[in-house]
Structure 1
Amino acid sequence: MSEKWTTANIPDQRGRVAVVTGANTGLGYETAKALAERGASVVLAVRNVEKGRQAAARMTGDVTVQALDLTSLDAIGAASAELRDRFDRIDLLINNAGVMYTPKQTTRDGFEMQFGTNHLGHFALTGLLLDRMLPVPGSRVVTVSSAGHRIRAAIHFDDLQWERSYNRVAAYGQSKLANLMFTYELQRRLAAHGTTAAMAAHPGVSSTELVRYTPAALRLPLTWLARTTQTAAMGALPTLRAATDPAALGGQYYGPGGRLEVKGHPRLVTSSPASYEVAVQQRLWSVSEALTGVTFPVAGSAVMK
């Protein structure tokens, strides 16, 4: 495999349907744009439909827009139903949208905003669309995590919604750790089907709008660091490689290949030891199903309560 993997390495995507969440700006925009340029029929699944249409107008190829609000289970259900009506098959689901370091607030269903959007919203969306993917050989679910999954990160089962106290950095870390645990447990459940695979990716430090909620003490250095490392287009490459590289395997995690995974061309990387704890993955899955009311059409092993 080339150490300088770029969009030029993306195979022909004609005939494939790709749904990309949060695709009107930043990493999602660059991911969707690259897939469309290689021939995929791309759906920009976004909260702001008008901004989605403006983004679609700047892309080349078959690009459409789907309203999707990941902060509402009702909205996720409605969007999933519309996508299921539109498409008999989905080849790629890119769970890219997210929020970072938000002030304490909740989704419409009462979930802590970062955990509810980044993890539970994508968990529900994936579960509701998965039967459109299972019959499709080579279909993939790619969930975007972050190096933040290593920072003050744990799954706080005793206070998942941060009702007793709130730390925006730790809450973000929990949501991004959950993204990885979801990926690994999903892949375990998908393995028996042999058609669909689950992967994860992270963008390193990229210049995107995510920094808008960064605490004041971190905002300037992080913004400077992002602007001096790599663009959103470079940050999207790990996601694109996980989604399209024929050599990529289910359960793998891709990130920048440079020092400390801050920047560089995408390569296979390793997530934190905590992310591989199977019992915690299974417990998180069980809790996520209970919170969202979404049950996946793939069976798992015995789940630890």
Structure 2
Amino acid sequence: MNDIWTAQHIPDQTGRVAVVTGANTGLGFETARMLAEHGATVVLAVRDVEKGKQAAARMGGDVTVQALDLTSLHTVRAAAADLRAAHPRIDLLVNNAGVMHTPRRTTADGFELQLGTNHLGHFALTGLLLDRLLPVAGSRVVTVASTGHRLRGAIHFDDLQWERSYDRVAAYGQSKLANLMFTYHLQRRLAPHGTTVAVAAHPGVAATDLARDAHPALRLPLTWFSSVLIQPATTGALPTLRAATDPAVLGGQYYGPGSRGELRGYPRLVTSSPASYDLDVQQRLWAVSEELTGVTYPLG
């Protein structure tokens, strides 16, 4: 597999319908922009519709905007209904939107904000759109994870919503570990169907506003860290774009920057933490996610 993969390697996307969450800024914007520039019909699924329209105006190609608030299962269901009505087929779903290191807050459904946004909202959206993906040969679900899944990353089934105590870094790690476990378990369930694959990616350290909610004590170190190692969002989006478009990608794979430590560089195949491959925890997390969201997948 070629170690140097750039946006020039993106194949023609003409005829593909791509839905990208959190696409009005940062990595999501660059992912959506490049897909549209290569011919895809792109839907920017965003919380702020006005910002989404402004983002769409800066892109070329066939780009529309869909309201999506991952912090409310009611609006996730409404968005999924709109997307199903507008698109009989979906070739690509990019679960990109996310929050990081927020103070403890809850979603409209009472979920801890990072788990609710990063994992449960996307879990529900994917399940509600899956029947638009399954009939499409070569369709993909790409979920954006993070190296943060290694930082105290564990699934705390005894206090999943951090109600007894709260650690914003560990809560973020849990949500990103959940993204990976979701991808790996989804791929096993998709495999017998032979049409859709699930893939994960992470951007390394990229110029986005994701750390805007970091604790004040962390902001300065993060700013210094980013100033030394930062790469532009155009580069940070490449692992997602490779996972979404490279014909050589296989289901269940994970792509990230190629440098030591996976902080920056061109995208390559990487591995996640040993904890992420625990099949029993994956299965338990899936069952809990179905129970919490009320969404079951049409996979038998």
Q: 1:141-178: CA deviations, max 9, x gaps?
A: 00000000000110000110000000000000000000
The code of the aligned residue for 2:6 comes to T
In the alignment, does 2:281 pair up with 1:290? Answer: no
Distance 1:65 1:30 in 2: 15
Q: 1:259-295: CA deviations, max 9, x gaps?
A: 2000000000000000000000000000000000000
Q: How does 1:164-179 map to 2 (within 5 A)?
A: 164-179=164-179
Secondary structure at the counterpart of residue 111 of structure 2? coil
In the alignment, does 2:49 pair up with 1:49? Answer: yes
The alpha-carbon deviation at position 207 of structure 1 amounts to 1.2
Secondary structure at the counterpart of residue 260 of structure 1? coil
**Corresponding residue of 1:67:** 67
Distance 2:291 2:223 in 1: 38
List alignment gaps of at least 5 residues for structure 1: 300-305
Moved over 3 A (4+): none
Distance 1:16 1:49 in 2: 23
The alpha-carbon deviation at position 224 of structure 1 amounts to 2.8
**Corresponding residue of 2:187:** 187
**Corresponding residue of 2:224:** 224
Distance 2:70 2:151 in 1: 24
1:207, 1:227 within 8 Å by CA — same for their partners in 2? no
The alpha-carbon deviation at position 222 of structure 1 amounts to 1.3
The code of the aligned residue for 1:239 comes to T
In the alignment, does 2:102 pair up with 1:102? Answer: yes
**Corresponding residue of 2:91:** 91
**Corresponding residue of 1:126:** 126
TM value normalised by structure 2: 0.99
1:91, 1:138 within 8 Å by CA — same for their partners in 2? yes
Secondary structure at the counterpart of residue 296 of structure 2? coil
Distance 2:244 2:38 in 1: 13
**Corresponding residue of 1:302:** none
The alpha-carbon deviation at position 191 of structure 1 amounts to 0.2
Distance 2:27 2:227 in 1: 14
The alpha-carbon deviation at position 221 of structure 1 amounts to 2.1
Distance 1:294 1:255 in 2: 29
**Corresponding residue of 1:3:** 3
The alpha-carbon deviation at position 225 of structure 1 amounts to 2.4
**Corresponding residue of 2:80:** 80
The code of the aligned residue for 1:216 comes to P
Distance 1:298 1:285 in 2: 13
Secondary structure at the counterpart of residue 267 of structure 1? strand
**Corresponding residue of 2:148:** 148
Secondary structure at the counterpart of residue 198 of structure 1? strand
The code of the aligned residue for 2:263 comes to V
Distance 1:196 1:89 in 2: 12
The alpha-carbon deviation at position 216 of structure 1 amounts to 1.5
Secondary structure at the counterpart of residue 222 of structure 1? helix
In the alignment, does 2:243 pair up with 1:237? Answer: no
Distance 2:178 2:226 in 1: 24
Distance 2:227 2:17 in 1: 32
Secondary structure at the counterpart of residue 64 of structure 1? strand
Distance 1:22 1:256 in 2: 21
Secondary structure at the counterpart of residue 97 of structure 2? coil
- How many percent identity over aligned positions? 76
Distance 1:22 1:291 in 2: 22
List alignment gaps of at least 5 residues for structure 2: none
In the alignment, does 2:220 pair up with 1:203? Answer: no
The alpha-carbon deviation at position 220 of structure 1 amounts to 1.6
Q: 1:246-269: CA deviations, max 9, x gaps?
A: 000000000000120000000000
The code of the aligned residue for 1:31 comes to T
Distance 1:165 1:221 in 2: 24
**Corresponding residue of 1:275:** 276
The code of the aligned residue for 1:260 comes to G
**Corresponding residue of 2:135:** 135
The code of the aligned residue for 1:117 comes to T
**Corresponding residue of 1:160:** 160
Secondary structure at the counterpart of residue 261 of structure 2? helix
Distance 2:217 2:238 in 1: 29
TM value normalised by structure 1: 0.97
